[in-house]
Amino acid sequence: MSLLNIETMLSPQASYTDLAGKAALAWEVDEHSALIDIAKKCNIDTQTYEPIGIRLSLSGQGFSLNLYLAKRTREPSGKRRVKSVLTNMTHNDFYQFAQNLNIALFNPYEEYDKLYEYEGEDNLSEVILS
C-alpha cells in the first residue's frame, strides 16, 4: 500500500478550488469524546482505531462524513497509520454531536492581507440595494 502525504489528508477535496478557506467546529461535548461517540455509532473498532478527525462533504448527492482513524499501534518509524472511512451517518445524526460549524471561504488566488481590511459584520439592510 502506498502512503499519502499527511497534507493530502488535511486538504479539502473538490472538483475545482473556486473557493478555499478554513473551518471550525464546536462539539456539544468534549471533542475527543465526540469523535469516539461518532466512531462507536458507526460500529468502528475503537480498541484498534482512534478517531482523530472528520471530513464533511456537501454536494448534490447530499451529506457525507468521513472519519479519520489512526491505528493505536505505531509503525517502526514511530508514526501511526491513518485511514479515512466513509460513514453512513446522516447530517441529522452528525448534528446530535455538533453544536456549531463555521466555514469561511474566499477566492484562493487573492492576497487578502495586502488588499483588504476587515470591518466586521453588518446588517444585511446596510448593504442591499434600495
If one counts every other C-beta atom within 10 angstroms of the C-beta of residue 115, the result is 7
Would you kindly state where each structural domain of the chain is located, as residue ranges?
Answer: 20-126
Sequence-distant (6+) residues with CB within 8 A of 100 are 25, 26
Q: What's the pTM?
A: 0.74
Mean pLDDT of the chain: 82
Output the nine-digit C-alpha cell for 55.
Answer: 471530513
Question: pLDDT tens digit string along 20-58?
Answer: 777 888 887 766 688 898 999 999 999 999 999 888 888
